[in-house]
Amino acid sequence: MSTTFTIDTATSRANPTPAPMKRLTVPAIRARKGTIGGGKGGDPLVMLTAYTVRNAQLFDPHCDMLLVGDSLGQVIYGLPSTVPVTLDMMAAHGAAVVRGSYHAVVIIDMPFGSYEASPEKAFESAAFLLKQTGAAGVKLEGGVAMAPTVRFLSERGIPVMGHVGLTPQAVNTLGGYGARGRTAAEAEKIVADGVAIAEAGAFALVIEGVVEPIAIALTQKVACPTIGIGASAECDGQVLVAEDMLGLFERTARFVKKYDDLGGRISAAAATYAAEVRARTFPGAEQIYAPKD
């Protein structure tokens, strides 16, 4: 029987233990196209970002897909944008997420500069990521211009998730992270970009930061599932950066809903720990090793 490895959380060490392979597949994700776009429907797809083994373990039972996003550049490394992120960064975190999951389809972002030059360059980068991590597919940003690359990868056995609308890797060209599609010309371009990527063979399409009618129109036009982030509840699924959703950052985009205040709770726990250390009440009798009688 095929196995993957999860981490034994009963100890502080990463001891892998075999678990039955029950992972969803890319075709299963593609088949979840909702009725709004002419599909068979079903529950909307759930996706969160994950960058570590432990987060993968916690999110995996609840998600259909885990995205190892290049947002790790900002979330994990404190970089000003996703532009400086490297293939090696993505490979290291992607491997950790695959090790920490067994149910969700794991998708890895192709970082800026790793795929734009040519389809051949994109294949080299994507093959490296899949070999290093065991992930199921890659995600790349861009529209009509990237359609030949999506087709090239798809025809050579690499599943591709597209990404249109607000594309963070193009922040320098876009001039910021504001919502896209507020003019008729831009709205028309976003829809054309999404259709081109879908027709090139993408198995799913992220639509980010657009005015809602664009997301609905694009969801209706493409045969693959759409995954919204700052788009519409009418998309075939949703994704958020997990740390935003968990409330680890004070400042988040308009489209983020905070489901917890982990930032506040972690800070409070650290403050309590610090106070107990300074008062010499930690460690207590329960945390020290007494000599044997």
User: Which tokens go with 124?
Assistant: 């080299």
User: Which tokens go with 239?
Assistant: 């994704």
What's the confidence (pLDDT) of residue 12?
Answer: 45
Q: Which residues are catalytic?
A: 208
| Sequence-ordered strand ranges (E) for the chain | 3-7, 16-20, 45-49, 65-68, 105-109, 137-139, 160-165, 204-208, 226-229, 237-240
Distances (CA, A) of 119 to 146, 149, 291: 9, 5, 66
Count CA within 13 A, CB hemisphere, residue 82: 22
Distances (CA, A) of 202 to 108, 174, 216: 14, 24, 18
What's the confidence (pLDDT) of residue 11?
Answer: 47
- Distance (Å, whole) CA 198 – CA 163: 10
pLDDT along the chain (293 residues), means of 10: 46 50 90 76 92 97 97 96 96 98 97 97 98 98 97 98 87 63 90 98 97 96 97 96 94 89 98 98 94 85
Amino acid identity for residue 276 in this structure: E
What's the confidence (pLDDT) of residue 36?
Answer: 66
Residue 274's contacts (CB-CB under 8 Å, 6 or more residues apart) are: none
What's the confidence (pLDDT) of residue 98?
Answer: 97
Q: Which residue shows structure tokens 């060209």?
A: 173
> What is residue 65's DSSP assignment?
E
Strand partners, 18: 5
